[in-house]
Amino acid sequence: MERFAPGRSFADVGCMWSVDGALAFAAEAAGATSVTGVDVMAPTPAFETERARRGSGVRFVRGDVHDPAVVAEVGRHDVVWCSGLLYHAPNPLLTLERLAQLTGETLLLATEALPEVPGLRGACVFYPGADPRPFAAPGRVGLASPFDAARGYENWWWGITRSALEGMLAATGFRVAEAHDDRLHVTIVANRQ
C-alpha cells in the first residue's frame, strides 16, 4: 500500500470476504486519492462499522466484476488490487479483461497457484474435471467437496501456474513488471501496455 496507493485512485476487487474491506481502508490510510471496494457479497457489518469508525470515504460497489454495467459503475482507477478471486472465476481471461478495463496504470494481482508442470509451461488444471484434486483443504468448495454449480464463484474453478498467468496477462493487455512466487501463491505487479 505504501508503495502503490499514495496519490493514486485505488480499487480493491473482491474486497469483502474474510477481510471486510481492510485493504481498501489501508489504501485510503496510505494516501490514495479515492478508493472503491467491489464485491458480489453484501458489505459486512464489520466493514460498515469500520467505515463509520474511520469516517472513511471508501466507496463500495456491490456487483459482479464480469458485468459490464458494474465495470462502468466502478470506473477506471490508477491502481487495482485483486486478491483471491481469479481461481474462483470460471472464465479467468474474461476476469482479466474486466480488470484491464478498470486499471489505469497498475494491477496488483494475487492468486493461489499451481507449481509448474515440468516440460509444460502455461499449464492449468480445470478442477471440475480433475481427479484427484490437489490442495483439497477443508472448506474449499470444488476441491475438498464436489464441484457445485449452484455455488458459482465459491467453487475453485482453475488451478493456474505462474507461467499460464503471465500468458493470460500478456493476452489481456498487461506487461508483468514483478512476480513474487512461493509456488502455491503468486503476487504479480502488472502494468497496462
DSSP string, 84-145: S-GGG-S-HHHHHHHHHHHEEEEEEEEEE-BPPBTTBTT-EEEGGG-SSPTT--TT-TTTTS
> Please, what is the minimum distance in Å from the beta carbon of residue 100 to ligand SAM?
15
What's the rounded Cα separation, in Å, for the pair 103 and 81?
A: 9
Query: Strand pairing of 158-160 and 185-192?
Result: unpaired
> Please, what is the minimum distance in Å from the beta carbon of residue 63 to ligand SAM?
7
Q: Which is nearer to ligand SAM, 109 or 164 (CB)?
A: 109
Q: Which is nearer to ligand SAM, 151 or 175 (CB)?
A: 151
What's the rounded Cα separation, in Å, for the pair 45 and 21?
A: 11
Footprint of ligand SAM on 8-67 (CB under 6 A): 14, 16-19, 38-41, 64-66
Burial grade of 90 (CB within 10 A; 0-12, 13-18, 19 or more): middle
Torsions phi, psi for 93 (to 5 deg)? -65, -40
Selected binder of ligand SAM within 153, 173, 185, 191 (CB under 6 A): 153
Selected binder of ligand SAM within 84, 122, 128, 173 (CB under 6 A): 84
Selected binder of ligand SAM within 9, 83, 106, 172 (CB under 6 A): 83
Question: Considering the rule CB under 6 A, would residue 104 count as an interface residue with ligand SAM?
Answer: no
Q: Which is nearer to ligand SAM, 39 or 166 (CB)?
A: 39
Question: Considering the rule CB under 6 A, would residue 107 count as an interface residue with ligand SAM?
Answer: no
Q: Which is nearer to ligand SAM, 18 or 52 (CB)?
A: 18
What cell was used for 60? 463500495
Question: Considering the rule CB under 6 A, would residue 159 count as an interface residue with ligand SAM?
Answer: no
Q: Which is nearer to ligand SAM, 119 or 139 (CB)?
A: 139
Which stretch of DSSP H or E encloses residue 53? Answer: helix 45-54
Binding footprint of ligand SAM on the chain (CB under 6 A): 14, 16-19, 38-41, 64-66, 83-85, 88, 153
